[in-house]
Structure 1
Amino acid sequence: MIITKIEPLEEKHKKEIFEIYKLGIETKNATFNTKVPTWEEWNNGHLKHSRFVIKLNDKTVGWIALSPVSNRCNYSGVAEVSVYIHPDFNGKKLASQLMRKMISESEKNGIWTLQSSIFPENKASLKLHKNFDFRIVGTREKISKMDDKWRDTILLERRTKKNI
Structure 2
Amino acid sequence: MSNITIRPMEPEDWDAVSEIYSEGIATEHATFQTACPPYTAWDAFHIKECRLVILDGGELAGWAALRRIDPRWCYRGVAEVSIYVGEKFRGRGLGSRLLTALCEESEKEGYWTLHSTVLQDNTASLGLHTKCGFRVVGRRERIARDCHGRWLDTYLMERRAKADEPAGYKRL
Question: What amino acid sits opposite 1:148 in the alignment?
Answer: G
Query: Secondary structure of the equivalent of 1:35?
Result: coil
Contact 2:118 2:154 in 1 (8 A): yes
Match of residue 17 from structure 1 = 17
Q: Distance in 1 between matches of 2:57 and 2:88?
A: 14
Could you report, residue by residue, the CA deviation over 1:105-154 in whole angstroms, capped at 9, with x for unpaired residues? 10011100000010121111101111122111111111111121111101
The 1-side partners of 2:157 and 2:56 are apart by: 29
For 1:133, the equivalent position in structure 2 comes to 133
Match for residue 90 of structure 2? 90
1:38 CA displacement: 0.9
The 1-side partners of 2:77 and 2:150 are apart by: 33
Find the counterpart in structure 2 of residue 148 from structure 1.
149
| 2:41 corresponds to 1:34 | no
Structure 1 segment 40-55 matched on structure 2, within 5 A: 40-55=40-55
- Long gaps (5+) in structure 1: none
Distance 2:137 2:32 in 1: 20
Distance of 2:104 and 2:84 partners within structure 1 = 18
- 1:9-68 CA distance string (max 9 Å, x none): 110000000000000000000000011111111111111111111111111010000011
1:57 paired to 2:70: no
What is the letter of the counterpart of residue 116 of structure 2? S
Distance 2:139 2:150 in 1: 17
SS of the residue corresponding to residue 12 of structure 2 reads helix
Task: Specify the code of the residue in structure 2 equivalent to 1:149.
Answer: R
Tell me what 1:160 maps to: 161
Q: Are the counterparts in 1 of residues 120 and 152 from structure 2 also a CA contact under 8 Å?
A: no
Counterpart CA distance in 1 for 2:127 and 2:110 is 25
Counterpart CA distance in 2 for 1:35 and 1:152 is: 20
Runs of 4+ in 1 over 3 A off after TM superposition: none
Shift, 1:7, TM fit: 1.0
Q: How many residues align?
A: 164
Aligned residues of 2:118 and 2:155 also touching (Cα < 8 A): yes
CA distance in 2, matches of 1:123, 1:69: 24
> How big is the shift at 1:92?
0.8
Query: Is the contact made by 2:113 and 2:160 (CA closer than 8 Å) also made in structure 1?
Result: yes
Looking at structure 2, the residues matched to 163 and 155 of structure 1 have their Cα atoms a distance apart, in angstroms, of 21
Which letter maps to 2:161?
T
Q: Secondary structure at the match of 1:82?
A: strand
Does the CA contact (< 8 Å) of 2:47 and 2:65 recur in 1? yes
| Corresponding residue number in structure 1 for 2:110 | 110
Q: Which runs of 5+ in 2 are unaligned?
A: 166-172
